[in-house]
Amino acid sequence: MLNRTLDDRYTILERIGGGGMADVYRAHDKLLDRSVAVKVLRSQFTDDEEFISRFRREAQAAAKLSHPNIVNIYDVGFDEQAYYIIMEYISGETLKDKIDREAPLPVETAVLIAMEIAEALEHAHQNNLVHCDIKPHNILITRSGRVKVTDFGIARAVTSSTMTNSGTIIGSVHYFSPEQAKGTSVGAKSDIYSLGVVLYEMLTGQVPFIGESPISIALKHIQEEPKSPRELNASIPPLIEAIVVKAMHKDPVARFDDIGEMIADFKLAQNYLRDDHTRRLSPTDFPTQILPTVTAPSQQDDSKHIVPSNTPASLLREARLSKAWLLGIALLLLVSAVVAFLGFGKFWSLNEVTVPDVVGKQVDTARNIITSNNLRVSVSEAFNDKVPAGQVISQQPEAGTTVKEQRTITIIVSKGGEVTVVPDLRGLSRRDAELQIKNSGLKLGRVDEQFADAAPADTVISQNPRPPAQVTKGTMIDIVISKGSSPKKVALPDFQGSLLTTVATQLESLRLKQGKITETPNDKYPPGTIISQNPPPATEVTEGTTIDFSVAKGVPGAVKRAIVQVTVPDGSGRQALQIVVTDTNGRRVAYEGTHKPGERIEKTVEGTGQVRVQVYINEKLLQEQTI
């Protein structure tokens, strides 16, 4: 399926999982330019109407569900004998991966995960849908920690009158309920039981029942009580253990009335939780599968294998057919051995010849050499990119071996390098393009980058060879990756004379960056004032260019100058103006005079060290500044 495009839209990139009925792949949706998950029904079931119906039912069942804890269904289709469902792609891991890595999980974490699963099931149950296959493998955890329930492949409507399947049961043996094991009617409480098993495994690091076969495990679900979770993990609070025990009660009536009641108990228990970080690995689980209906035997014996009392007649017929097949295979092997012995040559002949060396020769030449030595020849072909097409790659028996006349010599003739079609990589991300190249048996060649206004950054804009060229496997494919839109050019403003603290906003608006800052002693500019820049003003630069600045630094003992501007306020008659300077030399009057209202006065003052300038009108302070 790799590199195949379904309905000219979904290009399959890599296999990411699978189950009993279908395989799951990551694909690229060319129309919406996004990654999706594609579930494809396995080829052996495409002619089975029951499986096709179940597969379609999954799409119909899950499509009507919309919940943040349920994987979204986007599309469903059929393309060249491939039935598929397009789903939301979840970048993360399964709960089973997390359990295998970290179990037993902290109690608080386990309850939080179980609550999100329960909320997803509550939504499904409200829509009259039972999942029927709740297990850690069908629970996805995103990189942000959100829980997503997936795989409604064997989901059934709650309103169905029966949940049996012609004497068989479907599910994951470690997690399904006693009523599923018996093949009797199941409902929402079956999902509650399975969720209890999942919580049991998260808390203890192991499933409640293990056995030598799926049937033996199914019987334990019906007959035996699991070991107390607190015996396996003493840190589990009694209230949490009570939730697990109630959810896993063998009588559905004794379980929670509905999933909402279980959620309420989870919320109550969260007030009493404490963390614990012990770890334990869990055993391997059997996959989702179809099993014969299990009925508890009336008498127990010491035999290792338990056979269900109501094994379907179909299985007995299969057993008889299996014996017939074994007999047929044995007869076929015997005939093959006789044919091979007769084809070995004239075993009754006493004449022997030496096998000639034909490796590297053209097939016609090799055939003539072999037959001229009174031997027979059998030709097989194989791809080989190191041996030219039509030449012999190898032979059996090898050259120099002594054999009887008419012995068959098998030669393998090169078909040249295997040919493949160059995939269309344009528009794919670099990672997806490299994966396509690898899956096609090709190799990544030179990778160039260039600006492209019409293509998003890190996507392929061109390639060589171009599709749909046919090349031999191992050929190098060169690609050009977009660097995004070309950066714009701007004319550099003159920042000289501005305070460094005031240019940051202007640089950001121009998409420029502040570079190296150099302080230079200067008595002509106040400290912190830009006195030069690099590149210089009016230079055309591209967005993202770094601008370096030289900033004035105060000189000890240097004379500082400042211009004082004063507007005489409104009043009656002329007003007395006084400018006072305070510096290292003391306090002094730098200017004194009378002026009429509204008159503007501008005076230059100077001082050394820290200079304070005060302006008085009629002996009242009007303004003050420090230079």
**Which residue numbers are catalytic?**
133
The SS3 assignment for 263 reads: helix
Given a contact cutoff of 8 angstroms between Cβ atoms, the answer to whether 233 and 203 are in contact is yes
Tokens 């379980």 belong to which residue? 255
Spatial separation of the C-alpha atoms in residues 529 and 496, rounded to whole Å? 8
Residue 37's contacts (CB-CB under 8 Å, 6 or more residues apart) are 16, 24, 25, 26, 27, 71, 86, 87, 88, 89, 90
Q: How far apart are CA 95 and CA 91, in angstroms?
A: 13
Give start and end residues of each alpha helix (H) in 21-177.
49-63, 95-102, 107-126
The encoded tokens of residue 468 equal: 């749909």
- Please say whether the beta carbons of 626 and 611 come within 8 A: yes
Nearest alpha carbon to residue 562 among 595, 590, 532, 588? 590
CA distance 173 to 210: 9
Stated as kind and residue range, the H or E segment containing 403 is: strand 402-404
CA-CA distance, 126 to 458, in Å (whole number)?
A: 44
Prior bond to 397 cis, omega within 30? yes
Calpha distance 343→361 (Å, rounded):
24
Spell 405-428 as b/e; 16+ CB within 10 A means b.
ebbbbebbbbbbbeebebbbbbbb
Helix axes 259-269, 238-247, angle to 10 degrees: 170
- Residue pair 627/613 in contact (Cβ under 8 Å)? The answer is yes
Is 39 assigned to a binding site? Answer: yes
CA gap 81, 50 in Å, rounded? 16
Separation between Cα atoms, residue 103 and residue 52, nearest integer Å: 37
For 402, other C-beta atoms within 10 Å of its C-beta total 10
Binding site: which residues?
A: 39
